[in-house]
Structure 1
């Protein structure tokens, strides 16, 4: 079961190619974190594939998986962006952009043929990368005295916390990522240590 503080995404970019009756479909899948990431990726692909007839895409964003955009880029409505998005939905992936670049081969594929081509190319691109589970984390800063070092490090290890930044001199500081689900439990542990202050990083 997926808790509210986990989500699935792709580990790294991947590609796939699919051919049907002379048309060539190239799929590019990217892990992204914000809508602002879309434009530069599309611009780069349009530069790399200036002769392609269509650059169709779909994106799904947000931990609650609620944000999505589709673009058919001149293909008949519902034949390109929607099948790409449906593939992301069926795999329950978010924070992912898939762009399918099409070179038209001279033969019309018809609506079912197009839907199939965009779906299959997207599925193959996702199959060529690893789908990973990520957790939703809150970032905290802990300030503590040097003599608390062992106790602080012990909690970090016990609770599998990710250390993002650290500095150790007279006043020590550690910046950590705590999984949302375990925030209260972990903070209690730190607050019980004398001479230790913990606060949410802004």
Structure 2
């Protein structure tokens, strides 16, 4: 599993107008090529009357699947600039469709490249790029006398996330910490409790953090 990577939070849609042409940008998180193709097909069906429905997607831990489609626009003026926006923002498992309704004014090759790139950038902003960071879950079982101090100190340290606190005979504090950064947490908790703590590890998971979008 990757320790960290960028993707889209979920989905988004936006619209811009350039020289009377409408460009509607859609973005969706997709984990397989079949999902990406289904997403594109659904928008082609929705906008059956559009001049073009251009698209691109990147899928896989190592970006092994990359596709771009100009959908009738001059070669390299639509799908490729959409794909380049995805690459520039380093997003994975993401598909974008930019639908165009022609407004009567030709944009030329350069104008099309800029328009589709802008449409893709705006779509990513609408969908929100997130960084997914792999975290490990550690469970600390300790006496109630330690809880107040530990809870206050944990909340003051942004690198640690309190996932859950369980109250039984002993209190169990479950903490998420970025994978590879667990040693300082374990040492710190051991020191705070003078070694009076039982430590176990749970399942790892991704935590998402918002990121700014880079334009073309």
| TM-score bin (small chain) | 0.5 to 0.7
Structure 2 residue 104 is the aligned partner of structure 1 residue 102: no
User: Secondary structure in 1 aligned to 2:181?
Assistant: helix
Listed as ranges, the gaps of 5+ residues in structure 2 are 205-216
After TM superposition, list the pairs within 5 Å mapping 1:74-153 onto structure 2.
Answer: 74-75=71-72, 76-90=74-88, 92-95=89-92, 96-104=94-102, 111-126=109-124, 134=131, 136-147=133-144, 148-150=146-148, 152-153=150-151
Give the deviation of 1:93 after TM superposition: 4.2
The match for 2:40 is 42
Contact 1:190 1:196 in 2 (8 A): no
User: Secondary structure in 2 aligned to 1:149?
Assistant: helix
Q: Distance in 2 between matches of 1:178 and 1:166?
A: 15
Give the deviation of 1:199 after TM superposition: 0.7
Q: Distance in 1 between matches of 2:59 and 2:190?
A: 35
Q: Distance in 1 between matches of 2:172 and 2:66?
A: 41
* TM-score of the pair, normalised by structure 1: 0.68
Of the structure 1 ranges 81-90 and 162-171, higher mean CA displacement relative to structure 2 is found in 162-171
Q: Distance in 1 between matches of 2:59 and 2:22?
A: 28
Q: Distance in 2 between matches of 1:152 and 1:33?
A: 40
Distance 1:40 1:175, change over 3 A: farther
The match for 1:15 is 14
Give the deviation of 1:125 after TM superposition: 3.7
Partner residue of 1:159 out of 148, 157, 169: 157
Listed as ranges, the gaps of 5+ residues in structure 1 are none
Partner residue of 2:199 out of 193, 197, 200: 197
Q: Distance in 2 between matches of 1:151 and 1:179?
A: 22
> CA RMSD of the aligned region, Å?
3.8
User: Secondary structure in 2 aligned to 1:101?
Assistant: strand
